């Protein structure tokens, strides 16, 4: 069994879980029945901090393309459009988050999941690959965060 | 006495969201019982065209007014202003729970930079955001507080214009200055529910920020903007605006252009000094392609031009050089923001 990895964002740990796969848009991906369930990684949540608003622009049952814009999130420190991590059909959104998105902060790897898509996880990354992806991008990300403001 | 009554208008949410409807109904029910309060319901304010009865009702209100709506207060206030329903900005004590705790210190009121509203009558308009709380009590309490505040202000005003000893005729003339007629309640909430307005999309100018720089009129190629006789910018042809396109708002150097229904808070009219202006856009990190405001505005405009069979113009039209080159932003905000990111323990 693979040991969980932790990516260090500077001196702050962003733990990864070994029981799932990851996407380059900083979501995790795990089989849930017939579908794939997605949520934010600790890496994403740390950058965003407290989630205030979460809006979806598509509906359950819609066909979505990879990287299609599907929604928007606003947090205490950031905002971002959200994009489909894989192509497929949107099965459902996490109903709990529609009223109160705070589970994203409290339990991002569990109850704070975002949505389920019927699709393939062939394009997703293993935990090790995602960790390496974070390593490779960390300096650029820091520059982006600083440069963007 | 009419002067001591305050008009509360609730502008409903778009659509039929049950939770929103429930809050609206409980607020109205509670306010109907409130002495000294006239309560009316209109559909979603932003969608009300000039002929809509709800808008005509709003126009008929003369005294102080509280507007409850599912819009940022700034957006609601300046929509009313554009519709000719003017007043002084009434400061609500309700603070959005979404605002940062340190907002208060950031809210040292800057001297207004904008050109301001025209012909503001002697009354206050308070806008409350229905999205802030889901408990009707909070709103009822705030309406009570505002009613008391207005009563006090009006009494003071009356004293100021009423000389202690009978003075000149001119001053006496001021006192009898027309009593605002009590607004009649034209619509029962039930009736208003059946009169939804079609959705509209147009920019709203916040004249407390607008400096009349004319960049919006240069940028927009759809004839939405115009100027009045005094060369003051105004949204002349609201319905020329292209649904979903907030491009002019992005090029406005003062962020004075509000699209109340746009998804990002800064464009939808979030409060001045709110953290929204300083938020990092993580879209690139989360899979989007990063674009600065101006290039995004150019793309949005080109998309709308092509959609109506015109040629895309890219950056060739209506962009001041100043914005083309500058990306310099205050360094302090950046540093403290990165520090804030780092200091958080997850």
Give the CATH number, domain containing residue A95: 2.40.50.100
Least reliable range by pLDDT among A37-41, A76-80, A142-146, B261-265: A142-146
Q: What is the pLDDT of residues A67-106, one digit of tens each?
A: 889 999 988 888 888 999 999 999 999 999 988 899 999 9
pLDDT at B290: 53
Test A79 with B264 for CB contact under 8 angstroms. Answer: yes
Higher pLDDT, B129 or B318: B129
Span B36-45, pLDDT tens digits: 999 999 999 9
Q: Does residue A125 belong to any structural domain of this protein?
A: no
DSSP assignment of B120-132: --S-EEEEEETTS
More confident position, B261 or A141 = B261
E strand spans, B93-243: 124-129, 204-205, 225-227, 233-235
**Residue B204 pLDDT exceeds 60:** yes
Position A101 in a domain: yes
In chain A, what percentage of residues exceed pLDDT 90?
70
Any domain includes A70: yes
Q: What is the mean pLDDT of chain A?
A: 91
The pLDDT of residue B51 is: 87
Q: What is the pLDDT of residues B290-342, one digit of tens each?
A: 567 888 899 999 999 999 999 999 888 888 755 444 444 444 555 555 666 65
Q: Which residue of B has its CA nearest to A10?
A: B342
Tell me the domains of chain B and their CATH numbers. 2-86+121-182 (3.40.50), 204-343 (no CATH)
Q: What is the pLDDT of residues B213-250, one digit of tens each?
A: 999 999 999 999 999 999 999 999 999 999 989 999 99
CA A27 from chain center: how many Å?
2
Candidate from B285, B337, B342 with C-beta closest to A26: B285
**Cβ-Cβ contacts under 8 Å, A48 against chain B:** 282
Among residues of chain B, what percentage have pLDDT more than 70? 73
- Please indicate, yes or no, if residue A110 is contained in any of the structural domains: yes
At residue B285, the pLDDT reads 82
Minimal Cβ distance to B341: which of A44, A47, A81: A47
Nearest CA in chain A to B103: A76
CB atoms A77 and B276 under 8 Å: no
**Which residues of chain A make contact with B334, given a CB cutoff of 8 A?**
146, 149
Report the mean per-residue pLDDT for chain B.
81
Mean pLDDT across the stretch A1-15? Answer: 87
> What distance in Å separates the CA atoms of residue A32 and residue B96, rounded to the nearest whole number?
37
pLDDT band, very low/low/confident/very high, at A125 (cuts 50, 70, 90): very high
Is A45 in Cβ contact with B279 (below 8 Å)? Answer: no
Spell out the residues 6+ positions from residue A121 whose beta carbon is closer than 8 angstroms to its own: A21, A29, A31, A36, A86
Whether B265 contacts B277, CB under 8 Å: no
Looking at residue B325, its pLDDT comes to 43
Determine the pLDDT at residue B167: 45
Residue B292, Ramachandran bin (φ over 0: left; ψ between -120 and 50: alpha; else beta):
beta
For residue B3, name the pLDDT band (cuts at 50, 70, 90).
low
B345 contacts on A by Cβ (under 8 Å):
12
The pLDDT value given to residue B345: 46
Does residue A36 fall inside a structural domain? yes
Contact between chains at A80 and B263 (C-beta distance less than 8 A): no
What pTM was estimated for this model as a whole?
A: 0.62
Select from A26, A42, A149 the Cβ nearest to the Cβ of B329. A149
Q: Render pLDDT for B140-197 as a digit per residue (tens, 0 to 9).
A: 999 999 999 999 999 988 888 766 554 444 444 444 444 444 455 555 555 454 466 6
The answer to whether the CB of A21 falls within 8 A of the CB of A127 is: yes
Residue B329: C-alpha distances to residues A75, B42, B257 (Å) = 21, 42, 20
Best residue of B20, B246, B280, B288 to probe chain A, by most A CBs closer than 10 Å: B280
- Structural domain total, chain A: 1
CA separation for the pair B33, A65 (Å, rounded): 53
Find the chain B residues whose C-beta atoms sit closer than 8 A to any C-beta of A: 98, 100, 263-265, 275-276, 278-288, 290, 329, 333-334, 337-338, 340-342, 344-346
- Contact residues of A toward B, CB < 8 A: 10-12, 14, 24-26, 42, 44-49, 52-53, 55, 67, 69, 72, 74-83, 85, 141, 144-146, 148-149
Q: Which domain holds residue A50?
A: 21-120
At B276 the pLDDT is 41
C-alpha separations of A56 from B102, B263, B337 in Å: 29, 11, 27
Q: Which of B58-72, B121-135, B317-331 has the lowest mean pLDDT?
A: B317-331
Question: B287, B300, B344: best mutation site toward chain A, by most A Cβ within 10 Å?
Answer: B287
What local confidence, expressed as pLDDT, does residue B219 receive?
Answer: 94
CB-based contact B337 A149, cutoff 8 Å:
yes
The Cα A80–Cα A20 span in angstroms is 24
In a domain, A1, yes or no: no
Instruction: List CB contacts of B343: < 8 A, sequence separation 6 or more.
Output: none
Distance from CA of B153 to the nearest CA of A (A): 36
pLDDT at B118: 87
**Above pLDDT 90, what percent of chain B?**
52
- Chain A to chain B, count of Cβ pairs less than 8 Å apart? 95
**Is residue A143 domain-resident?**
no
* pLDDT attached to residue A93: 95
Residue A6 within a domain: no
Name, in order, each residue with C-beta under 8 angstroms of B193's C-beta and a sequence gap of 6 or more.
B12, B41
């Amino acid at each position: 069994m693979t040991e969980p990895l932790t990516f260090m964002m500077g001196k702050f740990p962003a733990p990864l879980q070994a029981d799932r796969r990851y996407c380059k848009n900083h979501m995790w991906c795990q089989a849930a029945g017939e579908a794939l369930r997605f949520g934010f990684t600790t890496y994403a949540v740390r950058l965003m901090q407290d989630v205030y608003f979460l809006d979806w622009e598509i509906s359950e049952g819609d066909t979505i393309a990879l990287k299609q814009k599907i929604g928007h999130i606003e947090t205490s420190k950031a905002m971002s459009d959200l994009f489909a991590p894989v192509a497929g059909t949107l099965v459902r959104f996490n109903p709990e988050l529609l009223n109160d998105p705070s589970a994203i902060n409290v339990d991002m790897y569990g109850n704070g999941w975002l949505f389920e898509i019927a699709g393939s996880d062939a394009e997703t990354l293993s935990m090790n690959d995602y960790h390496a992806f974070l390593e490779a991008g960390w300096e650029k990300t820091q520059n982006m965060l600083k440069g963007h403001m | 006495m009419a002067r001591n009554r305050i008009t509360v208008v609730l502008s409903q949410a778009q659509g039929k969201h049950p939770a929103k409807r429930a809050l609206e109904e409980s607020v109205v029910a509670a306010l109907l019982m409130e002495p000294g309060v006239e309560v009316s319901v209109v559909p979603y304010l932003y969608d009300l065209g000039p002929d809509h009865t709800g808008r005509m009702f709003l126009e008929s209100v003369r005294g102080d007014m509280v507007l409850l709506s599912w819009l940022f207060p700034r957006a609601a206030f300046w929509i009313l202003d554009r519709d000719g329903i003017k007043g002084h900005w009434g400061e609500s004590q309700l603070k959005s729970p979404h605002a940062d705790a340190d907002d208060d210190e950031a809210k040292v009121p800057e001297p207004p930079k904008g050109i301001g509203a025209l012909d503001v009558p002697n009354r206050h308009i308070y806008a409350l955001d229905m999205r802030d709380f889901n408990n009707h009590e909070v709103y009822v309490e705030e309406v009570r507080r505002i009613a008391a505040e207005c009563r006090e202000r009006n009494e003071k005003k009356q004293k100021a214009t009423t000389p202690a000893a009978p003075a000149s005729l001119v001053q006496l003339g001021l006192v009898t200055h027309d009593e605002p007629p009590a607004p009649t309640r034209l619509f029962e909430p039930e009736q208003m529910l059946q009169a939804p307005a079609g959705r509209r999309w147009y920019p709203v100018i916040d004249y407390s920020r607008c400096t009349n720089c004319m960049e919006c009129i240069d940028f927009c190629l759809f004839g939405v903007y115009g100027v009045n006789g005094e060369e003051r910018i105004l949204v002349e042809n609201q319905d020329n605006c292209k649904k979903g396109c907030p491009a002019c708002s992005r090029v406005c150097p003062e962020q004075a252009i509000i699209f109340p229904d746009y998804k990002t808070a800064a464009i939808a009219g979030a409060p001045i000094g709110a953290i929204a202006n300083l938020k990092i856009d993580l879209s690139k990190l989360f899979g989007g392609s990063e674009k600065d405001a101006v290039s995004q505005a150019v793309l949005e405009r080109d998309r709308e031009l092509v959609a109506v069979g015109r040629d895309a113009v890219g950056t060739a039209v209506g962009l001041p050089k100043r914005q083309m080159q500058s990306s310099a932003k205050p360094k302090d905000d950046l540093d403290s923001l990165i520090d804030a990111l780092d200091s958080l323990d997850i």
